Structure 1
């Protein structure tokens, strides 16, 4: 083959390839509006769920390592003890002691008010249990407390 002939064949091949590429580009640019086809949608209906079988694991009472049968453990019911709320005494000051024959009287300041009480006397849930010239013992809502001068 001659050199000129090869050049013409290659030139023809290049022209054919470029014409195909150009035709595709031209066809893409001048395509116009495409026809839109309507898509028919089916109404969605979910499948009915099947009820699943429940399985339980069987317990074996025999210990595989020791070969002994385990006794079922008894449940221990523990009772919760409620803690008593701390009793808050009113503000009390022991001021003095008066002894008259067989009576013992105690001078107390309770919440700023001065009162004279004797043994087993109650004032505002506050009971005088015992006392002497140095201290007095009082009971308030089940709790006993001593107050000194």
Structure 2
């Protein structure tokens, strides 16, 4: 590599020249002046001929054109009757807000919001057709119309 001031004398003008060329091209690209055409030639445009499409029809296939075998449509078998699905249960709005206990899970009191009203419930207790089946610090299990669903504690 070049040593001393000799390298500075060569590289500095080279860098300035390159940056000047880049800045000139950017400024020139955004200039508002449009180029003026001096030799504008008149162009004659001929109409394009459009061919009209021929009509066609599709017919049924009697034979396979490649194998020569007779085409047999598949028979549609009726599906067996299905049992209607069980109606889905519309659960009320339930939110698990927390638990108060002295360390014994059987004596714990759970704070549960059912349809916007706060309820204090113990294990096995039923309010508004909702039974508290099981619970701990993080989640509770409730039963409503024979179905069990788990709810986790609300985060702040």
Classify the TM-score, shorter chain. Answer: 0.3 to 0.5
Higher strand content, 1 or 2: 1
TM-score (norm 2): 0.43
Structure ID, larger Rg: 1
